[in-house]
């Protein structure tokens, strides 16, 4: 649904060149929630703004819903953007307009008539649960309500794609969860493809199907969450399940969905090994409980025990 | 001088001041608002970036702003004659008043527009709005409280300028103060003129504040 290839963005600032994004390829499938995770300054915001060409890439192409945006002229690009929703960290609502007026704005841009606008605004506000706030000004709303208005506004043009620029970063934890739940619902009910950027692991593990980890303008790893967790040396796993630095001989096992199986006790019973649990972390990721254990295995049949664990579908990493 | 005569004089001259201020305010907005918008949108990173145009406009505005009004007023007399056919009378003062206040107002417009968050402009871009739509539906409405406050300051400045215009034949309260207060030592009339001016400025400021607050509250 979104294809970014060979993306590079260089800023020129008083003669100096600053590379914000380099060699980025991104492939977001239809109907998935794709998260780009990274610290501030990693270039994820630039990447997102390149997707709807708020920033024009220095190199590379961007294709959204089959349309190559980087090949379009200004007027065509404007029309294409009307079909790409975007929500913002600080909501970016117009304080001179009511809630209904804000949601009507993109409809005015699209040139819809007054009656049709009113009908569509009512529909959208109903969808985000703010039907009773239509005539209120944004200043009188809470952060979570403001973001709901932002979401309603972003959906005005029936977009197939929603871009989310740190949409929950300015919200408290409880409100964040309710906005994430709303995004998930819209994703399921409308088949909306969502590309979001965030620095919060919580966002990734709550709603994302796929994730790309970004650092210094490059994507370090990307894929579906189960794929990444099953990949040795995964940064996602390391960040999702923080464990102390391993010493030589330590074994780290990562599991997704097999948390119910008593693998450790099975290993101890089947093989002549002793197991020391040094650390562990467990998380609900995309609705599946996943986790990591740091173990010290000693004994005659250590190698056989490790093979057994790997055969059970666990990712086994040995530190040297 | 009787109270009746004085009242008559005050009434007539207040009317002339009001005429000068109302007309010059109108033309100041017509000239200064587009100028202020142009200063913002032609700037680097603006909607219609054009460095050269931006510098030229800034230079024009700065020239207008650097001349004390009393000098500007005399300097533009030939232009006033060209436009109005005369440099005397209430109507003729509208030319120097507008030229004096428009650059001032343009700067205030510029400041008010720069207060509008870049994220709102970016959001409008993301929705596919054209640049003209962004000026008309985002920048100007969002800056409205600041624009009204700027206009209020400008009107008060115009009242002050109009009094100066009175000294070179423009009529109005300034003319009254010079002819009666300064040249004929009519202290009572002088005091009355001052009081009328204070009342007018108070009214304008209060009205402006109220309107700005009402818009901003939304």
- B73-119 pLDDT, tens digit per residue, is 889 999 999 998 888 888 889 999 999 999 999 999 999 999 998 99
Check A96 against B218: CB less than 8 A apart: yes
Task: Identify the band that residue B62 occupies on the pLDDT scale cut at 50, 70 and 90.
Answer: very high
Task: Identify the band that residue A258 occupies on the pLDDT scale cut at 50, 70 and 90.
Answer: low
Q: Are residues A86 and A220 in the same domain?
A: yes
Mean pLDDT of B129-146: 96
Selection from A27-31, A247-251, A302-306, B4-8 with the highest mean pLDDT = A27-31
Q: Are residues A187 and A248 in the same domain?
A: no
- Rounded to a whole number, what is the distance in Å from the CA of B149 to chain A's nearest CA? 16
Closest residue in A to B133 (Cα) is: A109
Q: Are residues A294 and A256 in the same domain?
A: yes
pLDDT tens for each residue of A25-55: 999 999 999 999 999 888 899 999 999 999 9
Q: Are residues A98 and A150 in the same domain?
A: yes
**Which tokens hold the place of B85?**
């056919």
Task: Identify the band that residue A259 occupies on the pLDDT scale cut at 50, 70 and 90.
Answer: low
Q: Are residues A86 and A193 in the same domain?
A: yes
Q: Which residues of A touch B127 (CB under 8 A)?
A: 81-82, 86, 105-106, 109, 153, 156-157
Q: Does A109 touch chain B (CB under 8 A)?
A: yes
Specify the 3-state DSSP secondary structure of A209: coil
> What is the predicted ipTM?
0.86
Closest residue in B to A138 (Cα) is: B218
Q: Are residues A206 and A251 in the same domain?
A: no
Note whether residue A235 is domain-resident. Answer: no
Check A96 against B123: CB less than 8 A apart: no
Q: Are residues A108 and A132 in the same domain?
A: yes
Separation of alpha carbons A130 and A149, rounded Å: 8
Neighbouring CB atoms inside 10 A of A89's CB total 19
Separation of alpha carbons A95 and A106, rounded Å: 15
Q: Which residues of A touch B132 (CB under 8 A)?
A: none
**Which tokens hold the place of B141?**
């409405």
Neighbouring CB atoms inside 10 A of A74's CB total 10
Which superfamily does CATH assign the domain made up of B3-217 to? MetI-like (1.10.3720.10)
Q: Which residues of A touch B218 (CB under 8 A)?
A: 95-96, 98, 137, 139
Q: Are residues A133 and A273 in the same domain?
A: no
Note whether residue A7 is domain-resident. Answer: yes
Separation of alpha carbons A80 and B4, rounded Å: 72
Q: Are residues A160 and A309 in the same domain?
A: no
Q: Give the residue numbers in B contacting A (CB under 8 Å), as ranges.
A: 117, 119-120, 122-130, 133, 137-138, 141-142, 144, 215, 217-218
> Where a domain ends, among A198, A228, A258?
A228
Given this model, what pLDDT does residue A139 score?
Answer: 93
**Which tokens hold the place of A18?**
């600053």
Check A92 against B141: CB less than 8 A apart: no
Q: Which residues of A touch B131 (CB under 8 A)?
A: none
Q: Are residues A251 and A118 in the same domain?
A: no
Q: Does A231 touch chain B (CB under 8 A)?
A: no
Note whether residue A131 is domain-resident. Answer: yes
Q: Which domain holds residue A310?
A: 241-318
Instruction: Find out whether A194 and A84 touch, Cβ atoms under 8 Å.
Output: no
Check A86 against B117: CB less than 8 A apart: no
Confidence check: pLDDT of A286 > 80: no
Given this model, what pLDDT does residue A99 score?
Answer: 97
Q: Are residues A146 and A96 in the same domain?
A: yes
Looking at the structure of chain A, the number of domains it has is 2
CATH of the domain at A50: 3.40.50.300
pLDDT tens for each residue of A65-120: 999 999 999 999 999 999 999 999 999 999 999 999 999 999 999 999 999 999 99
Note whether residue A120 is domain-resident. Answer: yes
Note whether residue A236 is domain-resident. Answer: no
Q: Are residues A185 and A260 in the same domain?
A: no
Separation of alpha carbons A306 and B161, rounded Å: 90
**DSSP per-residue letters across B61-92:** HHHHHHS-HHHHHHHTHHHHHHHHS-S-SHHH
């Amino acid at each position: 649904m979104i294809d970014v290839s060979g993306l590079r963005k260089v800023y020129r600032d008083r003669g100096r060149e600053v590379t914000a994004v380099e060699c980025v390829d991104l492939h977001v499938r239809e109907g998935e929630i794709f998260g780009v995770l990274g610290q501030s300054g990693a270039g994820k915001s630039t990447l997102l703004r390149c997707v709807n060409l708020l920033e024009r890439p220095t190199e590379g192409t961007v294709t959204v819903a089959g349309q190559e945006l980087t090949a379009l002229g200004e007027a065509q690009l404007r029309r294409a953007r009307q079909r790409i929703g975007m929500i913002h960290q600080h909501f970016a609502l117009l304080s001179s307009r009511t809630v209904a007026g804000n949601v009507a704005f993109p409809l005015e841009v699209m040139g819809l008539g007054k009656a049709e606008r009113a009908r569509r605004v009512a529909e959208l506000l109903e969808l985000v649960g703010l039907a009773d706030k239509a005539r209120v000004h944004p200043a009188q709303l809470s952060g979570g309500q403001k973001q709901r208005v932002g979401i309603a506004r972003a959906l005005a043009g029936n977009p197939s794609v929603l871009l989310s620029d740190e949409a929950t970063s300015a919200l408290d934890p409880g409100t964040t969860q309710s906005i994430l739940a709303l995004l998930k619902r819209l994703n399921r009910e409308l088949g909306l493809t969502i590309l979001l950027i965030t620095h919060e692991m919580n966002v990734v593990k709550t709603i994302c199907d796929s994730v790309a980890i970004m650092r210094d303008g490059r994507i370090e790893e990307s894929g579906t969450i189960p794929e990444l967790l099953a990949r040795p040396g995964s940064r996602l796993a390391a960040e999702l399940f923080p464990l102390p630095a391993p010493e030589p001989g330590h074994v780290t096992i990562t599991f997704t969905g097999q948390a119910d199986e008593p693998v450790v006790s099975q290993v101890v019973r089947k093989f002549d090994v002793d197991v020391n649990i040094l650390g562990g972390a467990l998380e609900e990721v995309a609705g599946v409980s996943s986790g990591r254990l740091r173990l010290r295995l000693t004994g005659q049949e250590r190698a056989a025990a490790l093979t057994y664990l790997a055969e059970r579908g666990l990712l086994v990493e040995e530190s040297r | 001088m009787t109270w009746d005569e004085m009242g008559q004089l005050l009434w007539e001259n207040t009317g002339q001041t009001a005429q000068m201020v109302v007309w010059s305010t109108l033309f100041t907005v017509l000239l200064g608002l587009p100028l202020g918008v142009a200063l913002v949108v032609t700037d680097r990173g603006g909607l219609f970036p054009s460095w050269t145009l931006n510098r030229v406009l800034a230079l024009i505005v700065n020239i207008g702003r650097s001349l004390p009004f009393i000098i500007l007023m005399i300097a533009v007399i030939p232009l006033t004659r060209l436009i109005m056919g005369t440099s005397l009378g209430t109507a003729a003062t509208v030319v120097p008043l507008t030229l004096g206040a428009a650059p001032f107002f343009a700067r205030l417009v510029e400041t008010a527009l720069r207060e509008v968050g870049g994220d709102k402009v970016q959001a409008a871009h993301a929705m596919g709005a054209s640049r003209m739509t962004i000026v008309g539906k985002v920048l100007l409405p969002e800056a409205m409280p600041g624009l009204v406050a700027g206009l209020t300051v400008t009107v008060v400045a115009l009242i002050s300028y109009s009094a100066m215009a009175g000294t070179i034949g423009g009529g109005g309260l300034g003319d009254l103060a010079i002819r009666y207060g300064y040249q004929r030592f009519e202290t009572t009339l002088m005091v009355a003129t001052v009081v009328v001016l204070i009342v007018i400025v108070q009214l304008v400021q209060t009205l402006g504040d109220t309107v700005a607050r009402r818009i901003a509250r939304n």
